[in-house]
Structure 1
Amino acid sequence: MIEDAYRLGEAMGLPVWCADQAGPYQTIPHPGRSWRPEGEPARQPHEYIRNGTAKILTLFHPADGSVRVEGATSCPNAVLHGWLERELAAVLEATPIPTTGAAGPGASRPAWERWQEGLSVKPTLLAELPPLRMLLVLDNLAGHKTPEFVCWLFAHGVMPLYTPVGGSWLNMAESIQRVLKRRALDGQHPEDVGQIIAWFEAVARHWNESPTPFTWGGKRSERRRRRRERHRLGGSGACTRRPLRRDEIRDYGHGRAK
């Protein structure tokens, strides 16, 4: 369902956004590259003061690469949901309301139910639904399923799509978070959480000046698929396409296999 959203949602006139919260990030030296004069590498102390942690709230639009970021020192539902509702309302305000051919009560319900097909547990839709305007990919957390938050999404035309348990990698917000984290913290030693938050928000503003769209199932995915096809078993150039018995594996280790 989430892969369909990434591949088909925008073509159907439904912007696909992803939400996630990254962190916590500590006030410790972070390994990584940094821009330094030749022969003068960055040196980080081996001692540091634990001075709190920061969480980074992220709302990402893969189709154009734009990202909305805000830092917080804690992330309970009241903070996360309040921020998401403000940001989503701003996005929807700038998004035209879709026009549908059908009219009358229940005319928009099939568009909502299309994104519940095949689910074993389906969120209960409101009796009266507005036109569907957005698909929102979220992690499968209990806080994201509170009735107040889900009803707010439905009332504003947003369909939540939850990643399966153990499948948070389907949330493309994690991809942009890794990019922002490298640019903000690699090779740095923040001394307080305010620095962490300021660096992330500055990096996000710079990113949005010339964002890069993210495509689901792009060239990297195709390369990984071809690699798996070539090397069914075995991690080196020597591989086999049939399962090996334990005695064969042992003999390979001693160089006696034929």
Structure 2
Amino acid sequence: MELSMEQAAELRELVSSRDVPADIATRGRIVLWSGEGRRRKDIAELLGVSLPTVDRWKRRYAEHGLAGLEGDRPGGAREQVPARVRARVIALTRMTPPPGTGLSHWSTRELAKYLKRTEGVTVSWHYIARIWREENLKPHRSGTFKLSKDPAFAEKVADVIGLYLDPPGGAVVLSIDEKTQVQALDRTQPVLPVAFAATEKRTHDYVRHGTTNLFAALDVGTGEVIGECKPNRNGATFLAFLKKAVKPHAGKEIHVVLDNLSTHTTPEVKAWLSKNPHIHFHFTPVGSSWLNQIEIWFGILTRQSIRRGTFSSINVLVKQIRDYINSWNEEAQPFTWTATADEVLAKVRLVQTNVRKLVNNNVN
């Protein structure tokens, strides 16, 4: 099996830690040595285990990562942790890490550190890994749910989702937003390896050639995208792009889904809307950009074209984006929106209830 440098480093840390039980360390060595190219027969002989045992822990690691190595430890006492702590671990895992942590999602170690630092609760990362496996929690693979404080949240959700599921007959629905500060990064050749924790990790030099702002409009009915890169982002550039986006649909009723940005409601934009009554704005709730379908497309663009790209200038980056849009439109397909407004609101109510319980437990 193949291991990334990060996976290999994490496994080396695992097998050398004094806090890790011997059986867990053995499982880690099975995976680590397999990743280094050792034969399963040699691994079994060196560690004194059977061939099926080698296969089992390789498979468990491939399926569940480090959490898969926890398993059940016959003869070993499990941590005696109160039920409220388990509930706290599950609740935190399902929520976005607080802004002060600088984390996009939890890892078992970071969550254990956070609990000890902020709440004085001491549990091992092995315990958290076991809970994640038992509850099928994978914070590194799934997004988090952000609660909106918009007082008109329910009305806006119903309005926007209503357009997706049942658009007015003959009307065009456009999902518009801006992806700001897209960086033109030039990744140079790897520099010399840097020794860290008994492992070598190659790093890269990064040269930043500036940023651009991508304005994009997704036709919800066809999946086609219109995009334009601009050096700045303000009401004037937004209005210019808006005019370009609606131009192909002249003579039709046009509904535009937007985020709550000040550039979308400037006096110039409002004046233009008053002169074009066939164009209607629909705003997503504050803090709920996930309702805007163009955000789905931005995510795809980032993963497939930008994140690992090398751009020696802004012009190279802009050309890459234009080429991607042209390629996308050759076989454009609309996104299929399935969640109803009632389903979304029910999920929000459930999250709000869990948050209230969490707060009450902490207060008590």
Q: Tell me the TM-score normalised to structure 2 length.
A: 0.44
2:172 is the alignment partner of 1:52:
no
Partner of 2:230: 72
Partner of 2:268: 148
* CA distance in 1: counterparts of 2:308 and 2:186, whole angstroms: 7
Contact 2:246 2:254 in 1 (8 A): no
Find the counterpart in structure 2 of residue 236 from structure 1: none
2:182 counterpart residue number: 25
CA contact (8 A) 1:139 1:162 kept: yes
Rate the CA distance shift 1:147–1:76 in 2: closer, same or farther, 3 A.
closer
What per-residue deviation string (whole Å, max 9, x for no partner) do you get for residues 1-22 of structure 1? Answer: 1111111214x32211011011
Q: Which residue of 2 is the match for residue 206 of structure 1?
A: 327
- Alignment gaps of 5+ in structure 2: 1-158, 188-201
Instruction: Kindly report which structure 2 residues correspond to 1:173-184, keeping only aligned pairs within 5 A, or say none.
Output: 173-184=294-305
Residue 5 of structure 1, aligned match among 144, 150, 163: 163
Aligned-partner Cα distance in 2 for 1:134–1:147: 20
Number of equivalenced pairs: 184
Q: What SS does the aligned partner of 2:204 have?
A: coil
Unaligned runs of 5+ in 1: 31-43, 98-132, 234-241, 247-258
Take 1:140 and 1:45, find their aligned partners in 2: how far apart are those partners?
39
Q: Determine the C-alpha separation between the residues in 2 that align with 1:88 and 1:18.
A: 11
Please show how residues 38-187 of structure 1 align to structure 2 within 5 Å.
46-89=204-247, 91-93=248-250, 96-97=251-252, 133-156=253-276, 157-187=278-308
Is structure 2 residue 171 aligned with structure 1 residue 14? yes
Hey, what does 1:216 align to over in structure 2?
337
**Letter aligned with residue 259 of structure 2:** D
Q: Which has the larger radius of gyration?
A: 2
Runs (4+) of structure 1 moved beyond 6 Å?
none
| Contact 2:235–2:268 (8 Å) recurs in 1 | no
Q: Is the alpha carbon distance of 1:60 and 1:154 closer, same or farther for their aligned partners in structure 2, counting shifts above 3 Å? A: farther
Rounded to whole Å, the distance in 2 between the matches of 1:210 and 1:73 is 29
Q: CA deviation at 1:50?
A: 2.4
The one-letter code of the counterpart of 1:76 is: N
Answer 1 or 2: higher relative contact order, Cα 8 Å, separation at least 6. 1
- Aligned-pair distance for 1:140? 0.5
Q: Comparing both structures, which one devotes a greater share of its residues to helix? A: 2
Q: How far apart in 2 are the matches of 1:49 and 1:171? A: 32
Structure 2 CA distance for partners of 1:76 and 1:45, relative to 1, 3 Å: farther
Distance of 1:23 and 1:146 partners within structure 2 = 18
Corresponding residue SS for 1:201: helix
The normalised TM-score by structure 1 is 0.61
State the Cα RMSD in Å. 3.3
Cα deviation, residue 86, structure 1: 2.4
CA distance in 1, matches of 2:181, 2:203: 21
Aligned partner of residue 28 in structure 1, secondary structure: strand
Could you list the per-position Cα deviations for residues 129-149 of structure 1 after superposition, in whole angstroms to 9, with x for gaps in the alignment?
Answer: xxxx11101110122112321
